[in-house]
Structure 1
């Protein structure tokens, strides 16, 4: 009997968010998706919308190593008729404009824990799970801040740049062992619930197709998974056609 493949998506919130869109894309592709995030009610809503009910909600704080270990125990034994996870997507993150002189050490550390430490914890356990099979795909969600720091975003950029280096080091170490590690730079605003709630003015200003469509981003993640090992992408940047760079 052919086993159903399993994917893990960490950092899922609203149904109108990127994590949910990635979960939907992999479920549509035949995967059973472990949908990980902090709020169970949101996770259950996302799972309810997956193709053929191909999902399991898993409440997880990705900055907590015990939570991550528990998630990957499930990923290694996802249920009868399912194979251990062969795709892991790390999408956790937070963002907020704070002038440099107003950033507290606690805030700086919190952004680093969510944006970088959590990626390390998830990436480490993903590698531990996949290396024995010498195959698998690990994708990290990056941002403009992965490449450059802007005024008022030092705390965010430091975390995202650190995550980029984690993913780059993993790609160089584990690529030759069969693991495809990719980093996706999201260079622009995402047309999802977070931006709509926090900055509706920015959404209106950007106009039609001025923000990244979550399903379009998710399709890129799917295509990264499909890539042949002789032509892997490590890093790709995505932005609306209206976005300057």
Structure 2
């Protein structure tokens, strides 16, 4: 039974590029998203399972990891949610929902992935990656909920790295510091295939040089 990778929050950009890279490596794949209607072609191309789920639902997250068909070696968390507007005009329930998706869901995945990876053999038992953003380093105006979620996600990853690196579980938070595009000839956009290459480099890092935070920024910064 091949080692397995889980990507939560799978869509047509970065996560699709990463799914293809992991499939080429020979890992089994589970692709999870709130809706899997648009994942049929990608699932067929990568021989992946698809699971429709709410990443902020503890029962759904537990069920996802309880049903994997192989040893978990890679787990990636991509989902985030925004609620934009002046701080005094934000809907509290929309803010709560944004934090549930961006931060609480990341915690749920981190906990479930850790439980499984602690049972793996080897000095490198697995890799857990969280897709961050510029907002996890600097809060932008009229975007407090996104900053709150990404700062929390970054703190989660830092804490997990300190706890889990000595146990052979690699944890990293990746700051996607720019807009993702589809072409290499745009100097102000990050190419999703190139981002996926960086993720694979994190997965392949020797244990003596584990990165716990990585910033990926386009050649010409738009902000």
TM-score (norm 1): 0.85
SS at match of 2:173: strand
1:139–1:181 Cα contact (<8 Å) kept: yes
- Give, in whole Å, the separation in 2 of the partners of 1:46 and 1:96: 29
Select the residue among 84, 87, 92 that pairs with 1:97: 84
Report the equivalent of 2:39: 43
CA displacement at 1:25 relative to structure 2: 1.2
Select the residue among 95, 98, 107 that pairs with 1:108: 95
- Give, in whole Å, the separation in 2 of the partners of 1:133 and 1:4: 13
2:84–2:144 Cα contact (<8 Å) kept: no
Name segments (4+ residues, structure 1) moved above 6 Å.
none
CA displacement at 1:96 relative to structure 2: 5.1
1:36–1:43 Cα contact (<8 Å) kept: no
Alignment of structure 1 residues 124-139 onto 2, 5 Å: 124-133=111-120, 135-139=125-129
Residue by residue, what CA displacement relative to the aligned partner does 1:148-196 show, whole Å, maximum 9, x if unpaired?
A: 111011110000000000111000011111100011000011126xxxx
1:21 and 2:14 correspond: no
Select the residue among 149, 153, 156 that pairs with 1:159: 149
- Give, in whole Å, the separation in 2 of the partners of 1:133 and 1:113: 29
- Give, in whole Å, the separation in 2 of the partners of 1:102 and 1:23: 39
SS at match of 1:133: coil
Residue by residue, what CA displacement relative to the aligned partner does 1:77-129 show, whole Å, maximum 9, x if unpaired?
A: x1xxxx31111001111335322222111111111001000000000000011
Report the equivalent of 1:73: 66
- Give, in whole Å, the separation in 2 of the partners of 1:27 and 1:181: 21
TM-score (norm 2): 0.93
Report the equivalent of 1:176: 166
* Structure 2 segments unaligned to the other structure (5+ residues): none
* Structure 1 segments unaligned to the other structure (5+ residues): 193-202
Select the residue among 171, 193, 199 that pairs with 1:215: 193
| Structure-2 change in CA distance of 1:105 and 1:178 (3 Å) | same
Query: What RMSD in Å do the two structures reach over aligned CA positions?
Result: 1.7
More helix by share: 1
- Give, in whole Å, the separation in 1 of the partners of 2:151 and 2:67: 30
Report the equivalent of 1:4: 2
Number of aligned residues: 219
- Give, in whole Å, the separation in 1 of the partners of 2:141 and 2:45: 39
